[in-house]
Structure 1
Amino acid sequence: MMAGGDENWALIIVDVQNDFMEGGALQVSQASTILDPIDELLNAPRIRLVAATQDTHPPAHLSFASTHSKPPFTRHNVPHPCLPSEHIEQMLWPDHCVRGTEGSQFHPRIQQALKRRADAHIIPKGTNIKVDGYSGFADNAYLSFTELPRLLFENRITRVVVVGLATDYCVKATAIDAAKFGLKPVVVRQATRGVDEQDSQQALREMSQYGAEIVHSAKDVIALMA
């Protein structure tokens, strides 16, 4: 097994967008508290590549409660995008991160950090109107993949640090997919926040079961890299 100093590290910043910040259309409580730890990780000398996922939904997206005339934060069976006789259980959300809107843009601190780094890449997701996309790697039905797997493997990345929003949905899906690809994810608790605290605790357990390493702070990650 390679030591931390022998591995190639990437930072995956999941959906740190205006609509998920305090006051946004789908705000996550205390979302802004993750910004300082993310800054610390962006300055870690061993980070070779940064990938920022960006929810980019078309209007009337399948995940929006308004599309189904249902209340937000309820579960609803939606048609499978390829198999009309089958359904997928979907959490219905307030309209959020609609492409071209201010809410879909990265938080200004993240936006500025990405501009400063030549190794930063933006990964759109959730672009298919017929299926949601929590993971930075693929849509929820695994019908199509984003550019993230190719980007990581072309750059010989072996470990990924996963941070962002929200712990119980997109962070969880991204970390689990990273583990499935053999990328040995590290999830930083100080740099993630969830929609629901109990669900977030369960999500951390699930990520751990898939092989993700759960650490408390950016300093813990930097120690792993040594």
Structure 2
Amino acid sequence: MEPICVSPNNIPHDYSNSVEVYESAMREDVNEEDEALNMLNTFDKNRDGVLDFEEFSNLLQHIFQLGPIDMTSEEKLKSFMLLLDLNNDGVIDRTEFQHAWTHCFDKILHPVTALIIVDVQNDFIDGSLALRHCPAQQDGAEVVPVINRLLEEREFDLVVYSMDWHPDTHISFIDNVHMYPLDKGCTKRFDECCTYDEVTFDLSPPRTQVLWPAHCIQDSEGAKLASNLKVSPGAVRIYKGTNPDIDSYSAFFDNMRLSQTSLQEELEKRHVTDVYICGLAYDVCVAATGVDAVGLGYRTVIVNDACRGVMEDKIKEEKEKLQEQGALVLESDEAMKLLANKARPNFDLGCFTAKTMPPFAST
């Protein structure tokens, strides 16, 4: 199909060719500026060169395949429009629409996806820190078939495996607590500390650390990926927690953000817009990775049934925190539908994209 050029003489007042324009906009060989102009002209029903609320709502309803508009959804549409109405005049003009198309709608219509599989390693499944022996008694092995199904049935632009990769002197290990000075305010002595205790070490800068059994020691059997986990060809591996003096829950940064892994660089190289995160442990490394992904502006989906955690109350708390910050928490079936239906994106992820647009720079 050739790209559609909509002129003032053939703008359809009933949006009858909006499907064609939408499909044209999804073509990779269509110029971005033409995409934007086609969409603006198609939904500019009164031909005044701008989109009022009714016209903009029709555009959003078409893109996101929204159902009938009630009071709640109307408020959401108004909130979306306010994010794009840079001069607050109640309409979206051509300049505002072009800016929104480049920094918002283009990401929505042309998502680039990455699956980030967090720490699905032997020690968390049946080794020294097996989740089934943790307070929540969840079985880490249960995530493997769910993740394998995602890899087998959906195509991601990038697959990432993050891995705890600790030296045997790591600060997080309960057996090493005597190796680091405790803060003067700590109420316990070295020999009184227990697994899962949170202590503060008198380092520069001071750092708070949960104490864990030794796990995922570099080059050990326990540090290997689960043997039945599908490893995607061309996948990227991110090694974290390699500094003995600081932990690294997130696949992006260490816990104090003193250093970062190569994950953000890998995502940026491939122009990734959407990250799907799963793995172990939900309330620790998965949650930390999700929070950082949202903070860095990635449209973030946590695949709920492809995660298992340490503590029930903490899992609930971290899940709520992620949702409050803009991440979606979906079951794998829902995530697979979203991945299979890129041409009809999720409205909440679209709102997140609008909120994280860069400011407009006038020339």
Could you say whether these structures have the same fold, taking a TM-score greater than 0.5 normalized by the shorter chain as the test? yes
Deviations 1:31-52 (A, max 9, x none): 1111111011112434111000
Choose the corresponding residue for 1:32, options 141, 165, 173: 141
Choose the corresponding residue for 1:153, options 268, 277, 282: 268
C-alpha distance in 2, partners of 1:9/1:198?
30
Percent of aligned positions with the same letter in both sequences? 33
1:72 maps to 2:190:
no
Contact persistence 1:10–1:161 (CA under 8 A):
yes
Residue 57 (structure 1) aligns with: 166
Q: Considering only CA atoms, is the larger Rg found in Structure 1 or Structure 2?
A: 2
C-alpha distance in 2, partners of 1:169/1:212?
16
C-alpha distance in 2, partners of 1:175/1:140?
14
Residue 16 (structure 1) aligns with: 120
Structure whose residues are more often strand by fraction: 1
Contact persistence 1:97–1:103 (CA under 8 A):
yes
Instruction: Give the deviation of 1:131 after TM superposition.
Output: 0.3
Instruction: Give the deviation of 1:153 after TM superposition.
Output: 0.7
C-alpha distance in 2, partners of 1:64/1:97?
11
1:99 maps to 2:179:
no
TM-score, normalised via structure 1 length: 0.91
Which of 60-69 and 49-58 deviates more?
Answer: 60-69
Q: SS where residue 73 of structure 1 aligns?
A: coil
C-alpha distance in 1, partners of 2:109/2:333?
15
C-alpha distance in 2, partners of 1:185/1:79?
35
Q: SS where residue 43 of structure 1 aligns?
A: helix
Q: SS where residue 283 of structure 2 aligns?
A: helix
Contact persistence 2:107–2:273 (CA under 8 A):
no
Count how many residue pairs are aligned between Structure 1 and Structure 2.
216
1:75 aligned partner, one-letter code: E
Contact persistence 2:201–2:208 (CA under 8 A):
yes
Residue 220 (structure 1) aligns with: 334
> Using a 3 Å threshold, how does the CA distance of structure 1 residues 219 and 68 change in structure 2: closer, same or farther?
same
TM-score, normalised via structure 2 length: 0.57
C-alpha distance in 2, partners of 1:219/1:16?
20
Contact persistence 1:8–1:46 (CA under 8 A):
no
Instruction: Give the deviation of 1:201 after TM superposition.
Output: 0.6
1:45 maps to 2:154:
yes
Instruction: Give the deviation of 1:181 after TM superposition.
Output: 1.1
C-alpha distance in 1, partners of 2:324/2:194?
33
Contact persistence 1:10–1:51 (CA under 8 A):
yes
> Using a 3 Å threshold, how does the CA distance of structure 1 residues 57 and 89 change in structure 2: closer, same or farther?
same
List aligned pairs for 1:193-208, cutoff 5 A.
193-208=308-323
Contact persistence 2:116–2:277 (CA under 8 A):
yes
Structure whose residues are more often helix by fraction: 2
Gaps (5+ residues) in structure 1?
Answer: none
RMSD: 1.5
